[in-house]
Amino acid sequence: MEQTDNLLARLNQQYGELSKGQKRLADFIADHYDKAVFMTAAKLGGEVGVSESTTVRFATQLGYEGFPQFHRALEELVRNRLNSIQRMKVTYGRVPQEKILDNVLQSDIDKIKLTLEQIDHEAFNMAVQTILDAKNIYVVGIRSCAPLAEFLGFYLNLIFDNVRLLRTSSSSEIFEQMIRIDEKDVIIGISFPRYSMRTLKAMEFANNRSAKVITITDSIHSPMNLYSSCNLIARSDMASIVDSLVAPLSVINSLVVALCMKKQKQVMNTLETMEEIWDEYQVYSNDEINYIDDKIKLRFPKMEDEHV
């Protein structure tokens, strides 16, 4: 039975055993699940006039380990029953235009807090060690997850010399880029709703060749976890037409920092070399535009004696 159907089934089956306050919670969720999904335990309880502790007991009464697990089931219900436009209207439809910035930023903050509370630290440490031990590191992320894959691939390239970012528009091209992957390698697959079948197929391909598989996704129920032994769960904003991937980016940042700390000497040597190259070829401009060489000047002259 799917998680979504399971939640509705539990509400129906156990309704008669619930207390009066818990029944009010059940009624509200059944009628307004699209609103309940954006509420904390305290807010949900306040909406129907019961305490936060009653709301938590309600979740456990339904058979969930706690409110976070119950809330994930509620998210699955909304995910399956509302399309993107409907989710956006539910989330921001009644928000005044001048409050949209505050609301979106606060939503992102909440996603990071939820990720911090629920992420598996052992899985994170395992991911770090697996990447360190790998002969080759493959990174794949499609569509809205492509910028995350690019970001991770960019910084991994500063740490390792064996990073391969998979860039593709078809499954066959992915397989061609992974043709030599084996048990000594690792692939990091990044996917959030709506999940990419191409990313899933890449991870299946890697798993079939005994490579290590790491996922960065939004839920333990994500199909991306089918072939992974190391799952990094980061909460994404599934209630908007625009994918909010702030929390996944924070997890990726943490992964990069942890790897840098393990490879400090190599990273410092790389960065020192890069700084020399950047200076030599003027990759980054300073406050003033410098000479390209002794003969050719840029349009704006140097102003070394000017004080600001």
Give 256-305 pLDDT, tens digit per residue.
999 999 998 888 888 888 888 877 777 776 554 454 444 444 444 444 44
Is 164 a member of any domain? yes
**Same domain, yes or no: 7 and 99:** yes
Q: Is the pLDDT of residue 150 over 60?
A: yes
Is 147 a member of any domain? yes
Give the CA angle between residues 235, 261, 212 to the nearest 5°: 60
Where does a domain end: 68, 95, 117?
117
Cα separation, 251 vs 124, whole angstroms: 9
**Same domain, yes or no: 141 and 258:** yes
Look at the chain and report how many structural domains it folds into: 3
Domain that holds residue 91: 3-117
- Looking up residue 170, the CATH number of its domain turns out to be 3.40.50.10490
Is 83 a member of any domain? yes
- The pTM score is 0.66
Which of the residue ranges 50-54, 102-106, 163-167 would you say has the lowest mean pLDDT?
102-106
Cα separation, 6 vs 4, whole angstroms: 5
Residue-wise pLDDT tens digits, 113-143: 989 988 999 999 999 999 999 999 999 999 8
Is 79 a member of any domain? yes
Tokens of 36: 């309940």
Which of 64, 29, 65 is CA-nearest to residue 50? Answer: 29
With beta carbons less than 8 A apart as the criterion, state whether 228 and 189 touch.
Answer: yes
**Same domain, yes or no: 61 and 155:** no
**Same domain, yes or no: 161 and 171:** yes
Could you tell me if residue 112 is left (phi over 0), alpha (psi between -120 and 50 degrees) or otherwise beta?
A: alpha
**Same domain, yes or no: 215 and 283:** no
Residue 87, exposed/middle/buried by CB under 10 A (0-12, 13-18, 19+)? Answer: buried
Cα separation, 113 vs 91, whole angstroms: 19
